[in-house]
Structure 1
Amino acid sequence: MKDFRLTRRAFGLGLAGAGTFAILGRATRAEAAPVTLRMSSSLPADPNSAHWLWYDRFQSSLKNKAGDAVEIKYFPDNQLGKEADIVGQVKLGIVDMMISGSSIWGTLAPEIGVLDLGYLFNSMDAAGPVLDGSAGKVLNGIFADKIGVEVVSWAYSLGGRNVTARQPANTPELLKGQKIRVLPVANFVATLKAMGASPTPMSLGEVYTALQTGVIDGLEHDAPTVLALKCYEVAKHISLTQHICNPQTIVIGRRALSKIPAEHLPAFREAAAEASAFQRSKANEIEASALAKLRSNGVTTHEVDRAAFKQLVLPLWDEFARTYPSTKPVLESITKA
């Protein structure tokens, strides 16, 4: 009988020990290492980079709200791979997050190309409220349903895209036939062609030499990028066409999103909203500064009759909406704004 009581006592102690171990195990899991996510960018980690501006504010805001629980590691300059490859890797969960222009996502969901239509927005500031409203919800749904990723936030490019060339291009007649480098995306090509140019898809890294050797007559891009590429050395005219004002898109894969503890998700989303508000507030200032520096480097800027160019590209809107009917609400929201 004594042996039986000892055995029961030992068994009880064993259960108590197991319970203590379970509690300690739960505590250990609760104090697990911080979640670390990787974010890809094609642009340099530069204070005047649209991507870096957003990330830098996001990471600092997230740290203030969630401490070290969630860390976002930034990989600029295509360190994780080219954008064309990264979009698929975010979808599969190989790369956690990506910040880029919206255009590249059109390779996985052509409907996203609605944001690349010419003269869709009069300015980047006009794009913000639309993307924060019903049009943004439609686009977010396309990202979720067609691609399987979530849009964290919509940020700004640092200004609309202009035509920078060796000759003025501020009217359809002057632009006609000029070989203009464009992003290799369908609606970019179609927009510049409708405006009268001879669009030439090309890697951005090849532009300076192509301008220097006369392979192209110009490029279309925002002023800070033209300044960073030093294109002002070989192209002295910027026609302020502002033909495309497409946003920057911050996207996270579903697998990555599931790694963030539920208690820190509100902080993650609040930090993203703060980063977008901050980045947007700096866009106009950085664009104006870049234009001033370009002028000081001998560039002449030309005002443009944008209405004349817009009339040439409007048929592309109707054609796109017929091809992708799910984008009609986006276009309707923009035209009503």
Structure 2
Amino acid sequence: MTFSRRRFLQSTGAAALSAPAFLAHAQAPVALRFSSSMTADENAAHYVWYQRMQANLKAAVGDAVRLDYFPNNQLGKESDVVQQVKVGSIDMMVTGSSIWATVLPEIGMLDLGYMFDSYAQVAKAMEGPVGATFNDMLQKRAGCTILTWASHFGPRNVYTKQQIKTLAEIKGVKLRVLPTPAFIETFKIMGAIPTPIPFGELYMSAQTGVVEGFEHDAGTVLASKLNEVTKSCWQTEHLFSPMIVVIGRRSMERIPASLRPAFLKAVAESTQQERVIANEKANSAIAELKTKGMTFFPMSAADRSTVRKEMQSRLWADFARQYPATAPMFDSIAKIRAA
């Protein structure tokens, strides 16, 4: 049987009329450009979170929303990516919280020494009023949303050539630190000589004696083979640095409103999964460093109490005076720490 020309035109016309109704229900896939400064492997906290997010998002919304991952600073150095997330040319980024201090100086309080004693405390604070306050401030100032607060692979400790186990022994020791006021002042208060140098120069600097040690997390020490130039770790656990995922306003608006609850649920699930893996990675890195000859010395409770009191009376107090909005956040964190 063949259709007449009239019947053909009638049928195609009916299809054309119904197309808009169909398209109203069909939404084009949303691809979000997601930037990271780390490598794309299981030894990078950024990538571990991304992998879980991609899988959870796929299960929740299928192909309606996906993340296109750009590791190794492919989209630019972090300070530039921050600005691009603000304007929407890059949709999302995962990074340490400190880089956002260029936009929101108050968030720098999270880099002050001895603020937390565990990542469990970080999670409790960041999922409560402290995190909500930071998110509200960032939305108002930059139009960006902090989607989540995840974990790096363990706290930062002090690694040195010679054994150091007390505050008395750290006096006058030259340590490489991150070139930020929070890190520099933390180690000045502890009595060390903080020496800001680029991470890429750290191995040679420790090897040649430019510095006598450095502070970092165990996973990075292992991955960068820094155990070859230092043999002792004083477990100061001076910083439990949160890892954050930030999205710009325009990018959030690109996600259909009907899909946003599923998107945010996938975010939360990914963070819960990543925190467990991060803890496992931290413990396994320490275990492997021990097999390679690294010795570990926990910081005494007395030394920790002493240095925290110094931080509170000097560094934290100065910060709260400079940024009054942080004063109640310091109090909130203190209550969580004491609980």
Q: If the length of structure 2 is used for normalisation, what is the TM-score? A: 0.91
- 1:309 matched to 2:307? The reply is yes
The 1-side partners of 2:158 and 2:210 are apart by: 16
- Alignment: residue pair count: 323
Partner of 2:325: 326
Partner of 1:203: 198
Identity value in percent: 46
1:224 to 209, 219, 223: 219
**5 Å matches for 1:29-108?**
30-108=25-103
Superimposed CA distance per residue, residues 6-59 of structure 1 (whole angstroms, 9 cap, x where no aligned partner) = xxxxxxx99x95x96464245346435310001111111121221111111111
The 2-side partners of 1:308 and 1:116 are apart by: 19
The 2-side partners of 1:294 and 1:39 are apart by: 32
Give the 3-state SS of the residue equivalent to 2:258 in structure 1. Answer: helix
The 2-side partners of 1:198 and 1:87 are apart by: 31
Bigger shift: residues 196-205 or 230-239: 196-205
Q: Is the 8 A contact 1:171 1:304 kept in 2?
A: yes
The 1-side partners of 2:230 and 2:15 are apart by: 73
**5 Å matches for 1:128-277?**
128-277=123-272
Q: Is the 8 A contact 1:58 1:275 kept in 2?
A: yes
- The residue type paired with residue 249 of structure 1 is I
Q: Is the 8 A contact 1:195 1:313 kept in 2?
A: no
Structure 1 residue 283: Cα displacement: 2.2
- The residue type paired with residue 240 of structure 2 is C
**5 Å matches for 1:119-134?**
119-134=114-129
The 1-side partners of 2:324 and 2:147 are apart by: 25
Give the 3-state SS of the residue equivalent to 1:98 in structure 2. Answer: strand
The 1-side partners of 2:322 and 2:54 are apart by: 39
The 2-side partners of 1:202 and 1:158 are apart by: 22
- The residue type paired with residue 307 of structure 1 is S
**5 Å matches for 1:14-25?**
21=16, 23-25=18-20
Bigger shift: residues 151-160 or 60-69: 151-160
The 1-side partners of 2:21 and 2:177 are apart by: 55
Structure 1 residue 172: Cα displacement: 2.1
The 2-side partners of 1:135 and 1:213 are apart by: 43
Partner of 2:334: 335
Q: What are the ranges of 5 or more consecutive residues in structure 1 without an aligned counterpart?
A: 1-12
Q: Give the superposed CA RMSD.
A: 1.8
- The residue type paired with residue 77 of structure 2 is K
Distance 1:22 1:205, change over 3 A: farther
Structure 1 residue 197: Cα displacement: 1.6
- The residue type paired with residue 287 of structure 2 is A
Q: Is the 8 A contact 1:40 1:75 kept in 2?
A: yes
Partner of 2:5: none
The 2-side partners of 1:167 and 1:310 are apart by: 24
Partner of 2:285: 290
The 1-side partners of 2:143 and 2:204 are apart by: 39
The 2-side partners of 1:124 and 1:240 are apart by: 15
- The residue type paired with residue 290 of structure 1 is A
Structure 1 residue 320: Cα displacement: 0.5
- The residue type paired with residue 319 of structure 1 is D
Structure 1 residue 134: Cα displacement: 1.0
Structure 1 stretches of 4+ with a deviation exceeding 6 A read none
- The residue type paired with residue 284 of structure 2 is S
- The residue type paired with residue 334 of structure 2 is T
Give the 3-state SS of the residue equivalent to 1:263 in structure 2. Answer: coil
1:118 to 113, 118, 128: 113
Structure 1 residue 89: Cα displacement: 1.0
Give the 3-state SS of the residue equivalent to 2:123 in structure 1. Answer: helix
The 1-side partners of 2:210 and 2:24 are apart by: 60
The 1-side partners of 2:62 and 2:163 are apart by: 52
Q: What are the ranges of 5 or more consecutive residues in structure 2 without an aligned counterpart?
A: 1-8
Superimposed CA distance per residue, residues 91-148 of structure 1 (whole angstroms, 9 cap, x where no aligned partner) = 1111110101101111111101011111110111211111111111111112212222
Structure 1 residue 308: Cα displacement: 2.8
